[in-house]
Amino acid sequence: MKNNSPHNRKGTGRNEKKTFNKESFNKKNSIKSGDKKDNYTKKTFKSSPTFRKKSIQKKEEKEGTRLNKYIANSGVCSRREADLFIQNGVVKVNGNIITEFGYQVMPGDEVFFDGRYIRPEKNVYVLLNKPKGYISTTKDEKARKTVLDLVTNASPYRLYPVGRLDRQTTGVLLLTNDGNITKKLTHPSHEVKKIYHVTLDKKVSLTDFEKLIEGLHFEEGLAKVDKISYIEGCPKNEVGVEIHIGWNRIIRRMFSKLGYEVEKLDRVMFAGLTKKNLKRGYWRILTELEINNLKML
């Protein structure tokens, strides 16, 4: 007697399909044990765990950071320089000297550079309009005020001034924890442009303009300005000076050698950065565009 219940119809359908695949189809195509079908099945089974293993390895690699990048992100030096330090055995991870370039630093690892504990920091770039009376160093033996006293709330990381402005010089000063940018902007080969507003005790003659452009001799070598001119709307004792050398107090020394005394010295531009809309003693974080421009210099 034919059973028309839905349950039995489903069961019969499955059984018939199973019988067809195993017996009719395999018999017709002469598939034997151990031939291509069995091999394909085995390969599929074996490849699955391997795939998962690779996925796990890739995930673990992503969690780590290459040692040279870790050092560079700590503000110590560039990646290329870090490779040299690693090669020379300067770097330790968890107490062990590491000389392998591709070594991965994992979360929780302790990294020491030349005996000093380091950790990656987010790069911060702060522009300060420096007032008089502040030293452009991280600390002063005489307990005088430093520019860091003005930017204490700018970053949770330790900042360093890029170059120096003497105590009485005002104007644009960049502070950052980016070692690469600091080295780039202070190295003479990059010839980073700086513009100063100089106020002197007397009118500057055109003859002295020429002497400053031709250059004056000092212990460090020949010092010369790139451009010099009177400032429109100001007395003739005020001049604008463009220069790229960064020797200590060089502008004051150059004018002093010609018989002038610098009464005021204000840096109005450094590496394309200006103090526009920034009051004296105030600071601001650089924009992404400004940061990119610095990296392209």
- What residue ranges define each of the domains in the chain, with the CATH number in brackets? 65-118 (3.10.290.10), 121-190+274-297 (3.30.70.580), 193-270 (3.30.2350.10)
pTM over 0.75: no
**5 or 83, greater pLDDT:** 83
Instruction: Write the pLDDT tens digit of every residue in 84-138.
Output: 999 999 999 999 999 998 899 998 899 999 998 988 888 899 999 999 999 998 8
CA distance 188 to 56: 48
Q: What are the backbone dihedrals phi and psi of residue 98, each rounded to the nearest 5 degrees, phi first?
A: -110, 125
The pLDDT of 29-51, averaged and rounded, is 45
Residue closest to 297 by CA, chosen among 226, 196, 225, 193: 193
Specify the DSSP element, H or E, that contains 268.
strand 262-270
For residue 201, pLDDT beyond 70: yes
Tokens at 58, concatenated:
């890739």
Q: Which of 38, 114, 166, 201 is catalytic?
A: 166
Buried b (16+ CB within 10 A) or exposed e, 17-27: eeeeeeeeeee
Q: What are the backbone dihedrals phi and psi of residue 144, each rounded to the nearest 5 degrees, phi first?
A: -80, 160
Strand 111-113 to 227-230 pairing: unpaired
CA distance 283 to 279: 8
Q: What is the pLDDT of residue 77?
A: 82
Annotated catalytic residue 109 = no
Instruction: Write the pLDDT tens digit of every residue in 142-197.
Output: 889 999 999 999 988 889 999 889 999 999 999 998 888 998 999 888 899 999 99
Tokens at 169, concatenated:
């010089």
Mean pLDDT for the chain overall: 83
What region does 75 belong to: left with phi over 0, alpha with psi -120 to 50, or beta? left
Residues facing 126 on adjacent strands: 175, 285
Q: Concatenate the DSSP letters of all residues of 18-83 into one string.
A: HHIIIIIIHHHTT--TTSHHHHHHHHHHHHHHHHHHHHHHHHHHHHSEEHHHHHHHTTSS-HHHHH
Tokens at 64, concatenated:
């780590």
Strand 170-176 to 262-270 pairing: parallel
Tokens at 296, concatenated:
């392209």
Q: What is the pLDDT of residue 175?
A: 97
Residue closest to 286 by CA, chosen among 175, 121, 151, 126: 126
3-state secondary structure of 55: helix
Residue closest to 235 by CA, chosen among 202, 195, 196, 281: 202
Q: What is the pLDDT of residue 62?
A: 53
CA distance 218 to 229: 23
Q: What is the pLDDT of residue 101?
A: 83
Cβ-contact 145, 133 below 8 angstroms: yes
Cβ-contact 62, 54 below 8 angstroms: no
As a whole number of angstroms, the longest Cα–Cα distance in the chain is 126
